[in-house]
């Protein structure tokens, strides 16, 4: 697994703002977003294994939304590339994009878990 880049971690201020808007503790929001990212990663990986690019695109979109909510900028471009490749039925490019997102995705999931 490659090393995560800077900017793959959640922005504490954004997380606190989301929590305040939802009337929840930041820890609860972190756990929810972590769970959403874990589910999205599983959907992406299952879709790639089954060559189901609709599932891959849906999973990448869901992961991108969660990453965007907490300001994990480094991950957004990789997830967008994954989503675009899947939408364009480019399985090889989707697999490459997934590999490129691996470290940052794992890092964000871990960081959110550490906050929860």
Instruction: Give 55-70 pLDDT, tens digit per residue.
Output: 999 999 999 999 999 9
pLDDT in tens, 73-112: 889 999 999 999 999 999 999 999 999 999 999 999 999 9
Q: What is the CATH number for 73?
A: 1.20.120
Name the residue range of residue 30's domain. Answer: 12-115
Residues 36 and 97: their CA atoms lie apart, in Å, by 19
Crossing angle between the packed helical segments 53-69 and 73-87, to the nearest 10 degrees:
160
Question: Is 4 a domain residue?
Answer: no
Question: Is 7 a domain residue?
Answer: no
Q: How confident is the model at residue 6 (pLDDT cuts 50, 70, 90)?
A: low
Question: Is 95 a domain residue?
Answer: yes
Question: Is 70 a domain residue?
Answer: yes
Number of folded domains in the chain? 1
Q: Enter the pTM of the model.
A: 0.91
Question: Is 60 a domain residue?
Answer: yes
pLDDT in tens, 7-59: 678 999 999 999 999 999 999 999 999 999 999 999 999 999 999 999 999 99
Q: Is 114 exposed, middle or buried (0-12, 13-18, 19+ CB in 10 A)?
A: exposed
Question: Is 64 a domain residue?
Answer: yes
Q: What is the pLDDT of residue 23?
A: 97
Q: Is 106 helix (H, G, I), strand (E, B) or coil?
A: helix
Are the CB atoms for 102 and 61 separated by under 8 Å?
Answer: no
Question: Is 50 a domain residue?
Answer: yes
Question: Is 2 a domain residue?
Answer: no
């Amino acid at each position: 697994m490659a090393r995560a880049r800077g900017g793959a971690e959640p922005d504490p201020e954004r997380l606190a703002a989301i929590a305040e808007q939802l009337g929840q503790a930041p820890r609860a929001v972190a756990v929810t977003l972590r769970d959403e990212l874990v589910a999205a990663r599983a959907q992406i990986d299952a879709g790639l294994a089954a060559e189901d690019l609709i599932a891959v695109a849906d999973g990448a979109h869901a992961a991108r939304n969660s990453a965007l909510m907490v300001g994990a900028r480094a991950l957004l471009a990789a997830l967008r590339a994954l989503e675009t490749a899947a939408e364009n039925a480019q399985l090889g490019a989707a697999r490459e994009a997934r590999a490129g997102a691996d470290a940052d995705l794992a890092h964000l999931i871990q960081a959110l878990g550490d906050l929860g």
